[in-house]
Each structure stands twice: as structure tokens, then as C-alpha cells.
Amino acid sequence: MTYNWIVTMLLFPLSTGAQIEQRSVPYEELLNEREAGDTTTHIHFQFQLQDGRMSGPFAAYYWSGQTKAIGILENGQPKGEWKVFYEDGRLAIKRFYHHPAEFETIFPPLPKKGPANLFGRNTNQPFKRDSSGVIQFRPLRETDLYWEQWVRRWIPATEQNRVMFENNLIWNTIWAAVRSDELPVYSAIESKMKTRLSKEDIQAIQQEPLQLLGLETKEAHFFSKSGMSMEARFIGLRPVFWDKIKQDTVRLFWIYYPQARKFLASVKLNQPGLPAEIQSLDDVFYFRHFSGTIYQKHTVYDQGSPTYYFEDRTIFSPEAERIELGILETDFEFWAHFNAKAYKKQK
């Protein structure tokens, strides 16, 4: 099975100037229910894409047209001030995000008694890095998960992702750790990453005819009851190559992302234009500073390789957008839900 359009994108990369696109997404699933003669377009979301990333002003609306949420996104994550409203127009919650892992609840005011953590943190804490330079994730308990969605994403080796792929940076980093037997890798056809490749399997890999097309990722998006916010964590990375001899795509192995983080963090970045907090290749993943597209929803129990919907972008793109926006909307709907529930108990 071949993906000629991917090769075309690599041969004709996008320009280096920032590309900004304004997007308005209607309530497509409800448009057919309009009364005869109703030509109103019921907008669900309005947002901005910058170099293929959800970055910039964001707004969501109820079917009635009432504002549901407004804020700023940076690489698909809340940044700065966010407001969520009830359908009658009342303000439900107002937050200020210092960074993806830290926010301050501004409204409603924190109760004098009770579990303040229900309303979010109140401090602007610096990132905590370990001795390898890896930003540490907050400890997570299974009982803390209120909602989760697992997805697979395609991150192409295009101009939009040059920080990651320029001069084969990410592959050279991964391959050096794999060849030295410091980073274990797993069967390319088993997404649960249980079967480790042997040294012989790795030594048999011939790089000469392979051109890196991009990365497939396995990610978990979940809403934490203690953090009161959505969080995204990478689980696995799978490099995808074009074999110039076979004229087909090749997938060599899966990498368990937590095992690769220290190697990615060892690659320091100083490219102009990068946000100050992005200091290493691992930070690119942590802050999601890339352009990528979801190609499948799945569960933690899924095995094998899914259908590659990104073959046909005209079919794939709307569904991918719905999944992405659905995760984001679930996040801020839960803010209002839990905040109202907790605040009611305090009165």
C-alpha cells in the first residue's frame, strides 16, 4: 500500500512564513433538523490554525448562538484567560492558564472551607525537570481518571515540523540510542509494545533506502478529577519511512515514549522563534509544538495496525477535526460541571 501524497508533501515543503487560517465549524449533525426556510448557520466552533496548529483565539457556541467558551489556544492547549458560560449567558468559570499544567481559578472565588483542589491550583509553579532535563508529569492514579480518549496521530516530516525533522534530528537521536542498546524498541505490528526486538533484528535494518516520512503516535487524552483539567500524554512513537527500492512505506518498530524521553531531552534546541520554555526535543512533545492530525480513535486494548485514514485527506480531515474539537469541548464542559457541583456543596 503506497502513500504517494506524503512523498509529494516532502518534495514540495511549505514555505517558511507562518500560515494562518481562520476556521468556522457549524453544528453539522443538526443542520438537517432546521425548519423549512431556516438559512441560519449554527456555528459550533471558531478558531485559528497557525502552521497547521490550533493556535490563537478560540470560541465555542451553543446551538442557540450563545457563547459557550472563549479563550486562547497554543498548540491545541488552553493558554491565558479562559471563560466558560452557561446557556443562559451566566459566567460558569474563569481561569487563567500559566502553562498547560498550571492554572488559576479566578471565578467563582475559592471557598473558605473545603477541598480547594476541586477548583484548580492557585500558584504559578515553574516546570519541574529531573536530572535528565525531562519535565515531570504529575502523578496519576487510575481512580483519578474521569474520562479518557485514546487516539493515533500522524506527524509528517514537513516544513511545519522542521524543529523535529530537520537534518533527520529525531531519527538520528532515536537510532543512536537504539543501536547502542540503551533504548528498547518493540514489534511494529503490536501496538501494546510487548514484544521487544532482538539485537539481531535491529542489526538487520538497512537504512540506506529509507526516507523518513514522519511519526505515528499513540496518545492518551484524559480528564483528571484532581487536576480538574484535560491532559495529553504520548504513549508510543512509530517512525514511518519510504523505501526507495520497494516503493512502499515501511514501519520498523514502536518506541515506548516514556523510555525515550531522556534521549530526546538530551538534544538541546536554540532555534530562533521557539517559545522560551522549549529547550529540548522532548519539550517539543511535552508542549505539543508540532502540526499533526488524528487518524483514528481507539482504546487501550486495541491491537495491530488500524486503517490508515490519512490516505484520503478529503475523507479523513473532517473526522479528525471533530475528534480534536470534541476532546477540547469535553475539557471545558467538565470545568463548568465540576466547578458548579463543588461550589454548590460549599454554599
Residue 218: other Cβ atoms inside 10 A: 23
Note the pLDDT of residue 144. 87
Note the pLDDT of residue 318. 78
Whether 117 is covered by a domain: the verdict is: no
Whether 178 is covered by a domain: the verdict is: yes
Whether 302 is covered by a domain: the verdict is: yes
User: Cα–chain-centroid distance for residue 39?
Assistant: 35
Whether 249 is covered by a domain: the verdict is: yes
Instruction: Reply yes or no on whether the pLDDT at 289 is more than 70.
Output: yes
Whether 195 is covered by a domain: the verdict is: yes
Instruction: Reply yes or no on whether the pLDDT at 54 is more than 50.
Output: yes
Whether 1 is covered by a domain: the verdict is: no
What domain range includes position 195?
Answer: 143-311
Note the pLDDT of residue 114. 45
pLDDT-based confidence at residue 139 (cuts at 50, 70, 90)? confident
Whether 245 is covered by a domain: the verdict is: yes
Q: Which of 61-75, 223-237, 298-312 has the lowest mean pLDDT?
A: 298-312
Q: Which of 115, 52, 91, 69 is nearest to 230 (CA)?
A: 69
Note the pLDDT of residue 97. 92
Q: Bigger pLDDT: 15 or 124?
A: 124
Query: Where does residue 284 rank: exposed (0-12), middle (13-18), buried (19+ CB within 10 A)?
Result: buried
Whether 24 is covered by a domain: the verdict is: no
Residues 6+ apart with CB under 8 A from 42: 26, 27, 30, 31, 61, 63, 65
Q: How far apart are CA 166 and CA 177, in angstroms?
A: 19
Instruction: Reply yes or no on whether the pLDDT at 36 is more than 90.
Output: no
Instruction: Reply yes or no on whether the pLDDT at 77 is more than 50.
Output: yes
Residues 6+ apart with CB under 8 A from 258: none
Instruction: Reply yes or no on whether the pLDDT at 240 is more than 70.
Output: yes
- Count the domains in the chain: 1
Query: Are residues 222 and 147 in contact, defined by beta-carbon separation less than 8 angstroms?
Result: yes
